[in-house]
């Protein structure tokens, strides 16, 4: 009963939100470096405002982020102190291939991650590596149109071969694309894709998605060839849709909206485009350019496990009078009257987590890996220097309890759990530092001021105890 003995407890970060050093040691500029702080951030994310280079009128919080590039030894030591079994991080593509289309990688970038992985291994922490967490060298956007262009598969394949070869024996768990479905909502932020005037947005997006799916299958194939011990997962921004009412129209709408997300994983996990996807594309007027061998590649190279992020469930209604919306992971949904919400309006639904775990397991029958979950909240340093983040503990405890129920009572197979932003980092959607998720506080504010000092919060000791007792004492 309870969590399996080898359950991988840990936390997750992404390169562009924590590393800093955006132009150091040969690193090239990427789409994620062009996301400013402030109200224009989201316009850039969705492609409504184009940025190809750094503009001195803006502040880009990711350029320094929390300077993990300098602090990684100290940070990993703190993760180890909490008892982490795994640490999820991502590779900055442009640190390895600064422009993206070079034939030779940047040794300094490769060395940085090698040092980092070795530091993890020193503490028996299993690295869980996202190959691309939203990032794309900006040169690939400028010159090729990013994932719109089939040549991206070649560049991505080169990146993967380099990583799998260099880190063989150091890294075993790989994720091909972070929140692969996010391209539907924020194509520039999630994949470096701009939709030009006059282009059919659906055609562009689904073609780009096809390229990513083929690239993901190819990466899975190569990972297995280079090291049969490698385990490759897909990654979905999950959270089931609820119908607002039992009106069959609402129920049907929820099913269709879930499919928009499941579609990606159906291909990555089952190996083929589901019939409903062909129909949907037909109705949208999308004509996929598929090359010979693509469908076979997808069929023969499905993922080993399903990873996902879960922050909240989603709600939908077809009734035009039901208009009250709430914020969520990258897009708004109808506000669910039964749920409370975070200070950023993301609704809180631990049972929805159990529902999502069950839905994914029912559908794919493959082990799941929860690679993001957490509460973004304002933290306050007390007079005695402590940070009493009971609200975060409450959120995490409720969600971990729901996951425990899914494992213990429903029989869902879960490999591990990495809560999001285990150390405070820059928020992807808002660019704020003050939207904090961590067990470790980082002294830096929204304008980039601060000492970068790391301070363990109350939740640090809570999570340490939870890992020590393998989740039996919540
Ligand atoms: C996920 C992303 O969408 O949610 C992360 O994979 C992101 O990169 C996380 O940081 C939390 O979102 P936000 O907007 O609160 O940072």
CA of 437 from ligand 1 middle (Å) equals 10
**Residue 189: C-alpha distances to residues 36, 39, 42, 436, 463 (Å):** 11, 15, 9, 20, 31
User: Tens digits of per-residue pLDDT, 195-231?
Assistant: 999 999 999 999 999 999 999 999 999 999 999 999 9
d(CA 308, CA 310) in angstroms, rounded, equals 7
Closest CA to 442 of 430, 460, 429: 460
- Counting every residue written for the chain, the total comes to 474
| Ramachandran quadrant class, 65 (left: phi over 0; alpha: psi -120 to 50; beta: rest) | left
Atom of ligand 1 at shortest range from CA of 421? 10
Q: How far is the C-alpha of 147 from the C-alpha of 141, rounded, in Å?
A: 8
- Residue 1 reports pLDDT greater than 80: no
Q: Whose CA is nearest to atom 14 of ligand 1?
A: 429
CA 160 to centroid of ligand 1, rounded, Å = 24
Helix (H, G, I), strand (E, B) or coil at 369: strand
pLDDT at 473: 87
| Nearest residue to 130 via CA among 154, 113, 147, 111 | 113
How high is the pLDDT of residue 17? 98
CATH architecture of the domain with range 8-468: Alpha-Beta Barrel (3.20)
Distance of CA 411 from the midpoint of ligand 1 (Å): 28
Q: What is the Å distance from ligand 1's center to 426 Cα?
A: 9
Q: Residue 246 C-alpha to ligand 1 middle, in angstroms?
A: 31
Does 372 participate in catalysis according to the annotation? yes
How would you label 150-187 residue by residue, b for 16+ Cβ within 10 Å and e otherwise?
A: bebbebbbbbbbbbbebbeeebbbbbbbbbbbbbbbbb
Q: Whose CA is nearest to atom 12 of ligand 1?
A: 428
Give per-residue pLDDT as tens, 318-342: 999 999 999 999 889 999 999 999 9
Per-residue confidence (pLDDT) for residue 330, from 0 to 100: 80
Domain-by-domain residue ranges, the chain? 8-468
Strand partners of residue 370: 308, 417
**pLDDT tens per residue, range 12-44:** 999 999 999 999 999 999 999 999 999 999 999
Residue nearest to atom 3 of ligand 1 (CA): 329
Single out the residue of 459, 445, 436, 340 nearest to residue 389, CA to CA.
459
pLDDT tens column, 65-89: 999 999 999 999 999 999 999 999 9
Say whether 123 sits in a helix, a strand or coil: coil
Residue 473 or residue 131, greater confidence: 131
Of residues 325, 459, 320, the one with CA closest to residue 394:
459
Q: What is the pLDDT of residues 358-402, one digit of tens each?
A: 999 999 999 999 999 999 999 999 999 999 999 999 999 999 999
Distances (CA, A) of 205 to 135, 147, 170, 294, 429: 16, 9, 35, 18, 20
Distance 420 CA to ligand 1 centre (A): 8
Please tell me which residue in 19, 119, 126, 372 is annotated as part of the active site.
372
Beta-carbon contacts of residue 115 (< 8 Å; ≥ 6 apart): 72
Does the predicted model carry a pTM greater than 0.95?
yes
Spatial neighbors of 28 by CB under 8 A, at least 6 apart, are 94, 95, 97, 98, 99, 100, 137, 138, 139
Q: Choose one of 45, 190, 191, 329 to mutate for the ligand 1 pocket test, by most ligand atoms within 8 angstroms of C-beta.
A: 329
Nearest CA residue ID for atom 4, ligand 1: 329
**Ligand 1 surroundings by CB, under 6 angstroms:** 14, 17, 178-179, 237, 309, 329-330, 372, 376, 420, 427-429, 435
| Cβ neighbours of residue 146 closer than 8 Å, sequence gap 6 or more | 31, 136, 140, 152, 191, 192, 193, 194, 208
Mean per-residue pLDDT of the chain: 97
CA distances from 100 to 92, 208, 210, 366, 400 (A): 11, 17, 19, 33, 39
Mutate to test the pocket of ligand 1, among 46, 428, 430, 438 (most ligand atoms within 8 A of CB): 428
Q: What is the pLDDT of residues 254-289, one digit of tens each?
A: 999 999 999 999 999 999 999 999 999 999 999 999
């Amino acid at each position: 009963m309870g969590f399996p003995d080898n359950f991988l407890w840990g936390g997750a970060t992404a390169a562009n939100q924590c590393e800093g050093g955006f132009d150091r040691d040969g690193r090239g500029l990427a789409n994620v470096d062009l996301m400013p702080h402030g109200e224009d951030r989201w316009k850039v994310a969705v492609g409504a405002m184009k940025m190809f280079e750094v503009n001195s009128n803006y502040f880009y919080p990711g350029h320094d982020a929390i300077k993990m590039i300098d602090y990684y030894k100290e940070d990993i030591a703190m993760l180890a102190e909490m008892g982490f079994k795994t640490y999820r991080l991502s590779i900055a593509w442009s640190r390895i291939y600064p422009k993206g289309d070079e034939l030779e990688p940047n040794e300094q970038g490769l060395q940085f991650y090698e040092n980092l992985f070795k530091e993890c291994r020193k503490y028996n922490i299993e690295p869980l590596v996202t190959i691309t967490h939203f990032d794309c060298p900006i040169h690939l956007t400028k010159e090729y149109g990013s994932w719109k262009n089939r040549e991206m598969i070649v560049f991505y394949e080169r990146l993967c071969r380099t990583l799998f070869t260099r880190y063989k024996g150091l890294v075993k768990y790989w994720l091909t694309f972070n929140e692969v479905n996010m391209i539907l909502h924020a194509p520039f932020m999630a994949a470096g894709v701009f939709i030009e005037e006059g282009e059919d947005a659906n055609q562009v997006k689904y073609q780009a998605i096809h390229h990513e799916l083929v690239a993901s299958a190819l990466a899975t194939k190569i990972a297995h060839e280079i090291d049969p011990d490698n385990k490759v997962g897909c990654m979905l921004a999950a959270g089931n849709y609820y119908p607002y009412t039992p009106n069959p129209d609402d129920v049907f709408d929820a099913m269709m909206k879930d499919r928009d997300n499941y579609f990606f994983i159906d291909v990555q996990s089952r190996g083929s485009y589901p019939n409903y996807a062909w129909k949907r594309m037909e109705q949208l007027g999308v004509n996929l350019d598929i090359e010979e061998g693509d469908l076979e590649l997808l069929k023969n190279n499905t993922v080993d496990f399903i990873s996902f992020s879960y922050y909240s469930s989603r709600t939908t209604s077809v009734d035009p009078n039901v208009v009250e919306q709430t914020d969520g992971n990258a897009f708004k949904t109808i506000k669910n009257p039964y749920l409370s919400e975070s200070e950023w309006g993301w609704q809180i639904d631990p049972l929805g987590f159990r529902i999502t775990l069950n839905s994914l397991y029912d559908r794919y029958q493959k082990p799941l890996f929860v690679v993001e979950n957490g509460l973004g909240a304002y933290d306050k340093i007390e007079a005695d220097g402590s940070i009493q983040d009971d609200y975060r503990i409450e959120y995490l405890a409720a969600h971990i309890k729901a996951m425990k129920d899914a494992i213990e009572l429903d029989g869902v197979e879960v490999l591990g759990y990495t809560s999001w932003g285990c150390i405070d980092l820059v928020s992807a959607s808002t660019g704020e530092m003050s939207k904090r998720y961590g067990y470790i506080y980082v002294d830096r504010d929204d304008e980039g001021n601060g000492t970068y000092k790391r301070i363990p919060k109350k939740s640090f000791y809570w999570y340490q105890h939870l890992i020590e007792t393998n989740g039996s004492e919540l």
